[in-house]
Amino acid sequence: MNLESLYQELILDHYKNPLHKGLVSPADASVHHVNPSCGDEVDLNLTIRDGEIQSVSWDGVGCSISQASTSVMSDLVQGRTVDEASQVIDAFMEVMQSKGSTTGDESLLGDAVAFAGVSKYPARIKCALLGWMAFKDALVQLGGYRAKDSGEAK
């Protein structure tokens, strides 16, 4: 089987032992996202203090990709400034849209580079993005997200 490159150990480890899973309340923003093509769901709580991500926590059901990706994301942005977190989101989105042509900048994306293989499977990109989109949405709600270019969230 050729699944090894998609399902890297790191991904499956996060799947088995997800980080920051279990909602921490109260939070500044709470969002609920669904992947309409499969029904997978994620709830995410976000708290920001002085322009820094103080806490991201989440809960949800989903496939290995969506669960692991949410786990990696939540660990990656913890403690970062809102601007840095926005940059990380943009970088991850770029990798996901790359159809396998880029693995992304490891210094920025850390463990999230392991998901580069997902971008070759269009139907799974939504899985990988579920938690990220929830996080971005929460950031936008708190007025925190800064898009890289025009200033308009897309």
Partner 1 sequence: MPLDVARIKKDFPILARTVRNEHPLVYLDSAATSQKPVAVMKAESDFYSQHNAAVHRGAHLLAEEATDAYEGAREAVARFIGAKSDEVIFTKSATESLNLLAYSWGNAPSNSRFHLAPGDVIVLSEAEHHANLIPWQELARRSGAILRWFGVDDEGRIDLSNIDSIIDSRTKIVAITHQSNVTGAITPLTSIVAAARSHNALIVLDACQSAPHFAIDVKELEVDFLAFSGHKMVGPTGIGILWGREELLAEMPPFLFGGSMVTAVTMEGASYAAPPKRFEAGVPNMAQAVGLHAAIDYLNAVGMGQIHEHEVALTEYALSGLSSIAGVGIVGPTEIKDRGGVLSFTVEGIHPHDVGQGLDDLGIAVRTGHHCAWPLMKRMGVVATTRASLYLYNEKSDVDALLLGIEKVQSFFGSKGIGR
Q: How far apart are CA 45 and CA 110, in angstroms?
A: 22
Q: How far apart are CA 99 and CA 109, in angstroms?
A: 17
The answer to whether the beta carbons of residues 148 and 90 sit under 8 Å apart is yes
Q: Of residues 85-144, which lie at the interface with partner 1 (CB under 8 A)? A: 121-124, 127
* Comparison of 50 and 152: residue with beta carbon closer to partner 1: 152
Of 22-30, 59-67, 129-137, 142-150: span binding partner 1 (CB under 8 A): 59-67
Query: Interior CA angle at 131 toward 82 and 32, to 5°?
Result: 95
How many C-alpha atoms does 152 have within 13 Å on its Cβ side? 2
* Comparison of 65 and 85: residue with beta carbon closer to partner 1: 65
Tell me how far, at minimum, the Cβ of 69 lies from partner 1, in Å: 12
Among 19, 29, 62, 139, binds partner 1 (CB under 8 A): 62
* Comparison of 94 and 121: residue with beta carbon closer to partner 1: 121
Query: Interior CA angle at 15 toward 9 and 16, to 5°?
Result: 90
Residues forming the site for partner 1 (CB under 8 A): 1-3, 6-7, 9, 12, 15-16, 34, 36-41, 61-66, 121-124, 127
